[in-house]
Amino acid sequence: MFRRLRIYLLTMSDSNKLFPTRLHLIIFITYISLFVNQGLLITASKDKDNNYTYNPTTVVILVELGKLLFILIMQFRESSLSEFINQITSNARMFGFYMIPALLYCLYNNLAFTNLKAYGPTSYWLLLQFRVVTTGIVYQVLFSKQLSLKQWFSLGLLTFGCIVQHIGHSSAESSSFNFRVDKYLLLMLVQIFSSCIAGVYNEYLLKGKAGDVPFLTQSFFMYLDSIICNFGYMYFNGSFSKAVSPEGLAALKEPIVLAIILNNTIAGLVTAILLKKLNSILKQFGASLEIIFTALLVWLLFGKAITSYTLFAILIVCTSIYIYSTSPIANPSTKENTSESVGQDSRKGEHV
């Protein structure tokens, strides 16, 4: 399945420069694969009553710590402790810059619980698909780049495809759509804009719009700020003590939980690379393909029914990708391979 997707995307990249190099294509496919795998692992980790056998907050803490640890390991492979400290102190302003997306992501994650309770899963996920179009709006503002009518049409079609997929999912589970105009709609809009602004602003920083800072140094500040925000929230709502309790940490003995932590850690790092090398618009296309492939693989691996809605959604999403590929947002071209770009990162300030 992923081999066919790779051939399809590679054909488009060769003729239309959707992906400037093979490396860009590999990053995109890796991003989709990791998040599809994340959905499968989380589904497999539930018991027969559809409950988690571990504390999700513990997993969140360990994923954030894992990202920071990985960045530190990579950094110390390229530079000494004194050089790293010099990088941190000379670019201390990035701590404040990255606090913005860190706070927005924290707000997004915690509003999810409130909005899910108010709307229910079907309504929540359908409304959340408007992130695609909202990302386009925020992208135009931050990067001062006007999207073409063809690009907007492809984003609108992509949104429609995701909505069709979620309608099919709700139909299979006999759940209904419940749209309500009240304070929760405002909270839903806040959640949507938090996600979009955080993603595009993160891309804005990674592409050097706030100064030429090495990728590893930027990642260090991003994950440090994320840890501070998430730990602060968990401390004030009382969930932190349960997460680090012996009972919460006991679940680490389970291989499936370790796999979730490792996969999510790598997925977070690849997302940063994707935003650096590609853009937030392609990230939305990747997220939409992730939804489709997750539905197909859950059907194959766990026997959950797949509907005609999913097949129709696949057609719509593929059409939207093709339309976008004929007029994509230009990505920076690069000739370096993966190992070179990582190795040169801290030496000459170029980022993966």
Q: Give residue-wise pLDDT tens across range 180-209.
A: 667 888 999 999 999 999 999 999 999 988
Per-residue pLDDT at 254 = 86
Please report whether residue 233 resides in a domain. Answer: yes
Angle between helices 22-44 and 338-348 (to 10 degrees): 100
Per-residue pLDDT at 18 = 80
| Report for 45-59, 136-150, 320-334: range of highest mean pLDDT | 136-150
| Report for 1-10, 240-249, 267-276: range of highest mean pLDDT | 267-276
Please report whether residue 343 resides in a domain. Answer: no
Q: Are 334 and 39 in contact (CB under 8 A)?
A: no
Number of Cβ within 10 Å of residue 330's Cβ equals 9
Please report whether residue 10 resides in a domain. Answer: no
Per-residue pLDDT at 105 = 93
Please report whether residue 336 resides in a domain. Answer: no
User: Would the pLDDT of 4 be above 90?
Assistant: no
What share of the chain has pLDDT > 90, as a percent? Answer: 44
Q: Are 58 and 234 in contact (CB under 8 A)?
A: no
User: Would the pLDDT of 341 be above 50?
Assistant: no
Per-residue pLDDT at 344 = 38
Q: pLDDT grade, residue 14 (50/70/90)?
A: very low
Residue 290 tokens read as: 């992730």
Number of domains in the chain: 1
Q: 57-75 pLDDT, tens per residue? A: 888 888 989 999 999 999 9
Per-residue pLDDT at 149 = 95
Please report whether residue 5 resides in a domain. Answer: no
* Mean pLDDT, range 269-276, rounded to an integer: 94
Q: pLDDT grade, residue 171 (50/70/90)?
A: low
Per-residue pLDDT at 345 = 38
Per the structure, the complete domain to which residue 283 belongs is given by: 15-46+54-328
Per-residue pLDDT at 351 = 33
pTM: 0.82
| 250 to 50, 53, 68: CA distances (angstroms) | 20, 10, 22
Please report whether residue 333 resides in a domain. Answer: no
Mean pLDDT over each residue of the chain, to the nearest integer: 83
Per-residue pLDDT at 331 = 66
- Going by C-alpha positions, the residue among 264, 291, 269, 51 that lies closest to residue 162 is 291
Per-residue pLDDT at 316 = 93
What share of the chain has pLDDT > 70, as a percent? Answer: 84
Q: pLDDT grade, residue 172 (50/70/90)?
A: low
Per-residue pLDDT at 339 = 36
User: Would the pLDDT of 5 be above 80?
Assistant: no
Q: 73-98 pLDDT, tens per residue? A: 999 998 899 999 999 999 999 999 99
| 202 to 94, 96, 140, 162, 343: CA distances (angstroms) | 11, 13, 14, 24, 22
Q: pLDDT grade, residue 132 (50/70/90)?
A: very high
Helix (H, G, I), strand (E, B) or coil at 52: strand
Q: Kindly report which listed range (21-30, 270-279, 343-352) carries the lowest average pLDDT score.
A: 343-352
The residue among 303 and 144 whose pLDDT is bigger is 144
Per-residue pLDDT at 76 = 92
Per-residue pLDDT at 10 = 56
Please report whether residue 347 resides in a domain. Answer: no
DSSP label at 330? Answer: P
Residue 189 tokens read as: 């809009």
Q: pLDDT grade, residue 258 (50/70/90)?
A: very high
Please report whether residue 340 resides in a domain. Answer: no
CA angle, 55 then 274 then 104, to 5°: 50
